[in-house]
Amino acid sequence: MSSAIKRAPTGVAELDRALEGGVPQGSWIVVTGEPGVGKSILCMHFAHAGLKAGDPVVYVTTEQEFKDVMEQARQLGMDMSEFTVHSIASRRQPEEPPHIVVIDIFGLLKVARQLSERARAEAQGADRERARKYATLSIETLIEAINEAYDILAVVSERGRAPERHVRLVIDSMSAFWADKPAMARKYSYQLKIATHRDNVTALLTSQYAPTTKMTFGFGLEHIADGVVHMWMDDVETAKEVRRWLIVKKMRMTNHAVRAFRVNIVPGRGLVLETP
Ligand SMILES: Nc1ncnc2c1ncn2[C@@H]1O[C@H](COP(=O)(O)OP(=O)(O)O)[C@@H](O)[C@H]1O
Ligand SMILES: [Mg+2]
């Protein structure tokens, strides 16, 4: 049966081989791991592989500006300069659907302001002052921004309906949305998935967790995932070097590899996995 499943290659050759060609289209994949293990680089591969295949990309980046994402991707052999980019922070509407819609902190800030203004306009008289104010890094703001991105890509004829083209959604990282309330991770993850999951959208979401906060940070997001890729590094004090690893912990509908790969980050190539 697995041959009937459409797959979205991640762009990392060894990983795609380990996944029977890629992640199942329409699935939600969570990438977990501490800082520096290569999560953001995996996101770049996933976006670049999509663009090469003709998939539009919605790229949420909370930790760095998209121009820096593009620059780092270029250093690692993924040139995205030929693709058109539209930031939702921009005032103008794109004339044609772009290849990439970027949702960065400035875009989220703009959407949060719009939501707050709308809530104020809808409130009556004295209630105006008490109208809801939306935070930049709130799950409602993120959901609205992603739906705006779907509209911009003109891949959804009506909100709530499946887009006609295959779209890739990257969220790097989700942890930013519950940084001050880790206990809400599970609830927010559900809310997000219910509001933005579409059959034709394949999503890659990163979650940062330090070993000490594993439970609260990791498990909220892992709960909604169709696939979990975990990345980590050996204790640097013991190893006296940065030794990175990647393992596929879960992948629905996939007879995936079950052993960990060593991860090398190679200029001009990006993530290069090897079996130890
Ligand atoms: N151009 C490059 N060449 C080689 N290694 C790089 C390059 N850029 C980044 N790296 C490596 O990638 C690491 C960052 O990976 P990243 O995906 O940002 O981690 P994470 O998102 O998990 O925090 C850096 O610490 C560095 O070791
Ligand atoms: Mg990162």
| Domains: count for the chain | 1
Assess whether the C-beta atom of 33 lies below 6 angstroms from ligand 1: yes
For 216-257, what is each residue's pLDDT tens digit?
444 678 889 999 999 999 999 999 999 999 999 999 999 999
Determine which residue's CA is closest to atom 18 belonging to ligand 1: 40
Q: 16 in a domain, yes or no?
A: no
Q: 154 in a domain, yes or no?
A: yes
Segments in the chain forming alpha helices (H) = 13-18, 39-52, 66-75, 105-122, 139-152, 185-196, 214-222, 236-239
Distance from the alpha carbon of residue 41 to the mean position of ligand 1, in angstroms: 7
Pocket test for ligand 1, best of 59, 60, 265, 269 (most atoms within 8 A of CB): 265
Assess whether the C-beta atom of 38 lies below 6 angstroms from ligand 1: yes
Q: 12 in a domain, yes or no?
A: no
Assess whether the C-beta atom of 130 lies below 6 angstroms from ligand 1: no
Distance from the alpha carbon of residue 105 to the mean position of ligand 1, in angstroms: 21
User: Residue 171 CA: which ligand is closest?
Assistant: 2
Q: 65 in a domain, yes or no?
A: yes
Indicate the Cα dihedral angle 90, 91, 96, 102, nearest 10°.
Answer: 20
Assess whether the C-beta atom of 267 lies below 6 angstroms from ligand 1: yes
Determine which residue's CA is closest to atom 10 belonging to ligand 1: 265
Helix, strand and coil percent figures for the chain, each rounded to 5: 40, 20, 40
Determine which residue's CA is closest to atom 11 belonging to ligand 1: 265
Assess whether the C-beta atom of 39 lies below 6 angstroms from ligand 1: yes
The whole-number pLDDT of residue 185 equals 87
For 191-216, what is each residue's pLDDT tens digit?
999 999 988 999 999 998 755 555 54
Q: What is the DSSP letter of 157?
A: S
Q: Give the mean pLDDT of the chain.
A: 91
Q: 122 in a domain, yes or no?
A: yes
- Nearest-atom number in ligand 1 for the CA of 266 is 4
pTM assigned to the model: 0.95
Distance from the alpha carbon of residue 130 to the mean position of ligand 1, in angstroms: 44
pLDDT > 90? residue 47: yes
CATH number of 119's domain: 3.40.50.300
For 126-153, what is each residue's pLDDT tens digit?
788 889 999 999 999 999 999 999 999 8
Residue whose token pair is 């029977």? 20
Domain coverage including residue 42:
26-229
Q: Which residues surround ligand 2, an ion (CB under 5 A)?
A: 39-40
Determine which residue's CA is closest to atom 12 belonging to ligand 1: 38
Higher pLDDT, 92 or 161: 92
Higher pLDDT, 38 or 4: 38
Assess whether the C-beta atom of 210 lies below 6 angstroms from ligand 1: no
Q: 53 in a domain, yes or no?
A: yes
The whole-number pLDDT of residue 30 equals 95
Q: 59 in a domain, yes or no?
A: yes
Distance from the alpha carbon of residue 107 to the mean position of ligand 1, in angstroms: 25
Higher pLDDT, 157 or 12: 12
The whole-number pLDDT of residue 158 equals 62
Q: How far apart are the C-alpha atoms of 227 and 20, rounded to whole Å?
A: 14
The whole-number pLDDT of residue 156 equals 64
**Which residues does 161 contact at the CB level (< 8 Å), separation at least 6?**
198
Q: How far is CA 108 from the centre of its chain?
A: 15
Assess whether the C-beta atom of 213 lies below 6 angstroms from ligand 1: no
- Nearest-atom number in ligand 1 for the CA of 242 is 27
Q: Tokens for 263?
A: 């991860």
Q: 179 in a domain, yes or no?
A: yes
